[in-house]
Amino acid sequence: MDNNKKIMFLKMITIPALLVLALGSGRLVSSGQEQAVNDWENPRVFAINKEAPHATFISFPDLKQALSQDPGQSSWYKSLNGRWKFHWVPKPADRPLDFWRPGYDDSRWSEIEVPANWEINGYGIPIYVNIPYDFAPRNPQPPRIPHDNNPVGSYRQKFTVPDDWKDKEVFIHFGAVKSAFYLWVNGQKVGYSQDSKTPAEFRITPYLKPGENLLALEVYRYSDGSYLECQDFWRISGIERDVYLYAVPRTRFRDFFARTTLDENYRNGRLELEVEVQDGNEAPEVRTRKLQVFHLSASILDDRGNQLFLEKKTFTLKPGDRKVLNFKGEIPGVKPWTAETPNLYTLCLELAAEKSLPLQATTRKVGFRTVEIKNGQLLINGQAVYFRGVDRHEHDPWTGHVISEESMVRDIKLMKQNNINAVRTSHYPNHPRWYELCDYYGIYLKDEANIESHGMGYGEKSLAKNPDWGPAHLDRIRRMVERDKNHPSVVIWSMGNEAGNGINFEECYRWIKQRDPSRPIHYERAELAWNTDIYCPMYPSLEELEDYARTNPARPLIMCEYAHSMGNSTGNLQDYWDLIEKYPVLQGGFIWDWVDQGFAKKNEKGELFWAYGGDFGPPGTPSDDNFCCNGLVAPDRQPHPALWEVKKVYQPAKFELAEPVNPEQAEIKVKITNKYDFLSLSPESFAIRWKLLKDGQPVADGSAACPTIQPWKAGEIRVKLPAEILKADGEYFLNLGLHNKDDLAQGLVPADHLLASEQLEIKKSQAVPKESLAAAARSNQPAAKLPKLRIKENKPNNKEITVSGQDFILTFNRSEGRLTSYRFQNVELLKDGPLPNFWRAPTDNDFGNRMPVRLKAWREASLSRQLKSFTINKEKTGAVLIRVDFFLPSVESNHTVIYQVERDGTIRVHNEFQPANPDKLPEIPRLGMLMGLADGFDQIEYYGRGPHENYCDRKTSALVGIYRTNKEEQVIPYVSAQEFGNRTDTRWLVIKNKNGYGIKFSGLPLFEFSAIPYKPEDLTLNRRGEKHFVDVPRRNNFYVTIDLKQMGVGGDDSWGARPHPQYLIKPQAYSWSFTLKPVK
């Protein structure tokens, strides 16, 4: 390390330390320590000859070129992405020691794409663990790294430098390299770097030569820096982001910080611009040169290219010197930046020599906005905002941690279309392009430093409390802040994740506050200590949220993680937001998390599946199974049903009846609350559409002019209905939708997109008396005109009894107490008749709360029952009554099923469940009956909540209506096999074959159902993540569950939380009924 750079570097580190870096080697020699240690096992060595961090920008020769804002258009930019020579070894002792020599023979080396992760390309093993260190899962001893398990990748690449760069300073930029690396150019050692998620830049001017040059990199999978990179994601390595060269004049601006805020009235823009200029001339003959005069101009352009601000500074600079120039200005009537209104302006910088010849120029998009905390609320531009957020890992199922711009835009598009307005960059600074896209499209960012030492715990061993690790903590935070400081989308700095709290984070907090007081700081492990501006708990209960809100706190509460969306999850979300909107200090949170971190892989049959922890490497490879799959979307970004719930709960408008509906009047008054923080609803920009349903069928529709409503204010519309329409008996619902008339989010949300929806119950159907239930299930054809039912016992064993009528035959097995055949017009409808069922295949959340163990008695009750009695009788009405009494030994309960067979083939199925000792029983997973339909019955139509999968604690987004679906659409391929496919509040269900034959199930009054080509037992695993979804063979027929209720899926967390009490099924007496009827 250059002595001047070393001194400057140490000044930037505010934590005192005795540190001397041996020139060139980067080895530590401190007092009391004589022996040399590896740089990659030394917490004090994390940067040798590495450039100080700076804002993201590329220089251009003049402002005209710079206005393109495309690095590829700059003659001073050269990408080195592409095919590189590559050599991999499993441990450092095996690495080629002199591969960096220009004459080294690499003809037998492989090639690898840059950027790329080694493990995705067949070099080493991808490892997924959550908390432990994958290289030391049981007994971590920082800063030690195992020498027998630390793969090393050696890279070589040849390049040429453009001729017109001769008089320039040339730098090489590595966007991200995991986890540590050395760099050589033309056989000369240049430097060393750690921190795998921020850029490493080196000045390589002295090492270049005319013509072809050689670049060599030695990358270590593990280093002491890995102790600060214990994030809950795939542990993979390599060059993960872009590599490029860039040139700048020797006298240049090196960095700039544009503080673009608003005045006290939030109307005018304020620019406070700090530009660091320096002269890089170091030759002795140049250093004696007299002072030179330079000009630096700073301007602001609007989106039409109009210049709103211009200021020029003239200054002198000695060779080798640096200065900081400050610009100030006010832009009247500026359009503020928010996630809803991402208004951007162009900042232009141009450096010129004394004769006004341009030397260097660049442009960056900036947005004017103010972030502050007042009265316990986080305000943006003076307005309290809700963070309707998600946590997002950078993940691609085919390329690992190498993320394309296409993937980033796809994520933002899905987020904007589903009302997500904020992202936490969990748990590291993301690709620089991500921030530019969030500036442009409008996403609030909580920018998180690449620090997590979860595997060390939070006690005295925490690295947060160890001063030896202080400089490394601060370096990572400083590099994030300096890189991302000009982005309006970054509204909160996060110092890291799950790394304990102590003196190191206290010093980091102080440094950020000194460097950038314009943004609040978040750190979850600080809890309520002084070194966090926001209380940001993980997975708090509703009770904990309310307890905090009632204390009138000075700090807002924004959950950094909540609603753990692992597998079939994300229940209770509406409950959380009902509470959040009750207390001003509660301002939302970030759902964990956005995408399932599965990798694309094929099994022995050639079937594609999403691989997770344990799917790579030999037995014993560290793994936390499928705990990396917690996303609202699948690895390929196909939405899970939970995303529709998120869209509904996060929606920007609320609809409710303004007054009770009078069926005598053909008008419904609806109150609308605008839940945008900045956008006003108006008839020019938004449309409201409505549809009236009677018994699930549309009977009227139309539109209403959207009233002008300011943010968080309410207005009213009047829905005009046809006269007399509500007088007829039936069940009426009014569906309402808010649509945008023009594109939003720069076109990612197209015009006429459904932004918000609601279903209002207008009128209930006339109640059917209990005694009429059976009659309601019968055909309209008078019973007297139908032949009488015939009962026949099949000899010789009398095990089977048939009940037959016109066009149908029912067969009961009296030894099993079940209906075994249901034939209509000689077409078999059933494969397995209905039996009581109390079990669901465990979800990921169920495994987390030990449901398979706690509730196993209900699984046994579904599989094993004792037949107590089977009786059959004819009623005076002509119906046949079959009564079956079961005893369920595992739960010491009685269960009775009564089949009432009518002359038209309708069967009323009545269930009575009676536990002997309910106080000794746990909650019931589900309460219903399971049956298998005959093959080919896979066309579904139902009247209930849909169209997507829904559960009692995740149904806000599922509106009541008539929906049609089929076998393929019913299958929800969660990454790991588990319960799926439920529908709630069902009135009736019809399942047919291609010829139109089928069964109609009717609720008395409502039921839940699933109809999928799996039994619950097929999807029941012994442990979480034991099987992928594709591993479970699909049956040829549908298995249908008709349930009184299934318990909720939960989602507060996936390691202990159960569904909320109101979504559980208490062990008590229950009775319920439904009907089956053949249809054609």
Question: What residues act catalytically?
Answer: 498, 561
The answer to whether 994 touches 939, Cβ cutoff 8 Å, is yes
DSSP 1014: S
| Helix intervals (H) in 811-871 | 844-848, 851-854, 856-863
Residue 951 tokens read as 């559960």
The answer to whether 878 touches 888, Cβ cutoff 8 Å, is no
Residue 409 tokens read as 């835009």
CA angle 1026, 1032, 1036 (to 5 degrees): 165
The torsion defined by the Cα of 243, 244, 245 and 251, in degrees rounded to 10, comes to -100
Which H, E and C letters describe 312-365, residue by residue? EEEEEECCCCEEEEEEEEEECCCCCECCCCECCEEEEEEEECCCCCEEEEEEEE
Instruction: Report phi then psi at 315, rounded to 5.
Output: -150, 165
For 481-502, b/e burial (b = at least 16 CB within 10 A) is: bbbbbbbbbbbbbbbbbbbbbb
| Helix intervals (H) in 535-580 | 542-549, 573-580
CA–CA dist 992, 1014 (Å, integer)? 18
CA–CA dist 381, 125 (Å, integer)? 48
CA–CA dist 740, 685 (Å, integer)? 6
Which CA distances in Å does 864 have to 816, 856, 891, 1065?
11, 12, 11, 21
CA–CA dist 956, 960 (Å, integer)? 10
CA–CA dist 518, 264 (Å, integer)? 14
- First vs last Cα of the chain: how many Å apart? 84
DSSP helix/strand/coil, 848: helix
DSSP 266: S
Residue 657 tokens read as 């009846």
Region of residue 865 (phi > 0: left; psi between -120 and 50: alpha; otherwise: beta):
beta
CA–CA dist 710, 708 (Å, integer)? 7
Residue 718 tokens read as 């009047």
DSSP 875: -
DSSP 167: T
The answer to whether 812 touches 882, Cβ cutoff 8 Å, is yes
The answer to whether 183 touches 191, Cβ cutoff 8 Å, is yes
23, HSE (Cβ side, Cα atoms, 13 Å): 5
CA–CA dist 87, 118 (Å, integer)? 10
CA–CA dist 153, 94 (Å, integer)? 11
Length reported for the chain:
1080
CA angle 841, 869, 887 (to 5 degrees): 40
Q: Give which of 611, 604, 545 is closest to 578, Cα–Cα.
A: 545
What DSSP assignment string belongs to 644-701? HHHHHHT-SEEEEESS---TTSSEEEEEEEE--SSPPB-TTTEEEEEEEEETTEEEEE
